[in-house]
Amino acid sequence: METQPLKGKIAFITGSASGIGQGIALRFAKEGAHIACCDLNLEGAEKTAQEIKSLGQQALAIQLDVVKSKNVESAVRQVHDHFGKIDILVNSAGIIKANFITDVPESIWDAIIDVDLKGTFLCIKEVAKYMVEQKSGKIINISSKSGKKGGLWLAAYSSAKFGVVGLTQSVATDLAPFHINVNAICPGNVFSTPMWDLLDKEYSVKLGVPPEQVRKIYVEKVPLGRGCTVEDITNLAVFLASTQSDYMTGQAINLTGGQEVH
């Protein structure tokens, strides 16, 4: 891949205050992109934006609640007005909670479906309006291996992430005539993210083991013998955001070390 394959591109990235979204934002900046750092956690988004500026790229921090359509519409307009275009959308905002099916509170179900699925839809809907006008764009949705195979105690999360895969396929068909590529990344377990600090405790209950043993059990399920890293995800995201993926659309790509292969 060429040096700085994203040079001069404008990327709108949700969930960019931490974890996968932050990792993609920083990597895209290193590859030459200017970044709109969008997150409900404004302080975290501002820290990411400052780090991007230290890399010599432009950055804009925006507080964004992806489940509120007016907030999404306003944020997308603000980014477009500021930079003049939006070339890349990365939907990384997401939440997770593990409960046995009879113990899933309706409020938790609603929150996960809202953030992980509806939020992805709303951001695509608004950004696509500008991408259709410019007849170009790259949309990358973060799904999960749980979007390919339902996970134990993950009814809401798996449903949302399966939904992201279906949304990706449908929207790819809608937007193909406008030269807009829409793909999803389905990562395995990314232990370095803040999400796993919570999951260690929740998964210890569902597996019946101490929290410190949880990650070992999950790694043992992976043929390549390790967890997924943020760098693994950013490597793929750069490809999907670059011209090298111009003939790929509607795909939900497993990044699971061989754990999921369909």
- 220 found inside a domain: no
Domains: count for the chain: 1
CA distance 31 to 172: 25
Expressed as residue numbers, the domain containing 40 is 10-190+229-255
SS3 (DSSP) at 64: coil
Under 8 Å between Cβ of 128 and 171? yes
Under 8 Å between Cβ of 147 and 215? no
Predicted confidence pLDDT, tens digits, the chain (262 residues): 679 999 999 999 999 999 999 999 999 999 999 999 999 999 999 999 999 999 999 999 999 999 999 999 999 999 999 999 999 999 999 999 999 999 999 999 999 999 999 999 999 999 999 999 999 999 999 999 999 999 999 999 999 999 999 999 999 999 999 999 999 999 999 999 988 888 899 999 999 999 999 999 999 999 999 999 999 999 999 999 999 999 999 999 999 999 999 8
Give residue 114's pLDDT: 98
- 186 found inside a domain: yes
Sheet with 252-255, edge to edge strand ranges: 59-63, 34-39, 10-14, 88-91, 137-142, 180-187, 252-255
- 108 found inside a domain: yes
- 121 found inside a domain: yes
Give residue 88's pLDDT: 99
- 261 found inside a domain: no
**Catalytic machinery residues:** 157
- 202 found inside a domain: no
Give residue 162's pLDDT: 98
- 224 found inside a domain: no
CA distance 144 to 241: 18
Structure tokens at 232: 């693994």
Give the domain CATH number at 150: 3.40.50.720
- 83 found inside a domain: yes
